[in-house]
């Protein structure tokens, strides 16, 4: 009976510690050592994710993945904006909350951004 209680406690703790989302695509950063070994080593809701050269580091998770690929309204900004974050935080529009789209940012990494409208807004001349 004690073994069952220990197993139940371990499963419960594992469920409580589960992080939302998933690791972004393999991070293309030059961190080749394992800064973390598991999600428990990361602060907050960060995940321990692999880097391109075999290391691991704590990063913010992508949003929870959907089983269907969703293409949202709007188009990626003609002139990328946002912070210079050079690691991907999404792989498709399905990874982004609400109306945000997965688009290249100024560094070229895919991040969730506010889209431009599908149709350009016509210039209105002042009278």
Which residues, 6 or more positions from 46, have their beta carbon under 8 angstroms from its beta carbon? 19, 39, 58, 59, 60, 61
Give domain 63-119's CATH architecture: Irregular (4.10)
Query: 16 falls in which pLDDT band (50, 70, 90)?
Result: very low
Of residues 64, 11, 21, 10, the one with CA closest to residue 44: 21
CATH 4.10.75.10 boundaries in the chain: 20-61, 63-119
Asked whether the predicted pLDDT for residue 94 surpasses 60, the reply is: yes
Whether 74 and 118 have beta carbons less than 8 Å apart is answered as yes
Q: Coil, strand or helix: which one is 102?
A: strand
pLDDT score, position 121: 58
When pLDDT is cut at 50, 70 and 90, the band that residue 74 belongs to is very high
- Beta-bridged to residue 14, according to DSSP, are none
What is the fold, at CATH topology level, of the domain defined by 20-61? R-elafin (4.10.75)
Top-confidence residue, 127 or 31: 31
Whole-prediction pTM: 0.46
- What residues does 112 pair with on adjacent strands? 102
Q: Of 70 and 45, which is predicted with more confidence?
A: 45
Which pLDDT does position 48 carry in this prediction? 92
């Amino acid at each position: 009976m004690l073994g069952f209680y220990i197993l139940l406690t371990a499963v419960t703790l594992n469920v409580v510690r589960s992080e939302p989302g998933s690791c972004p695509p393999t991070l293309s950063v030059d961190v080749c050592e394992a800064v973390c070994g598991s999600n428990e080593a990361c602060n907050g809701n960060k995940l321990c994710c692999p880097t391109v050269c075999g290391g691991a580091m704590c990063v913010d998770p992508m949003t929870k993945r959907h089983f269907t690929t969703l293409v949202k309204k709007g188009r990626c900004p003609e002139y990328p904006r946002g912070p210079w974050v050079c690691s991907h935080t999404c792989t498709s529009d399905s990874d982004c909350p609400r109306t945000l789209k997965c688009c290249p940012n100024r560094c070229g990494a895919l991040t969730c951004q506010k889209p431009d409208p599908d149709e350009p807004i016509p210039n209105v001349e002042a009278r």
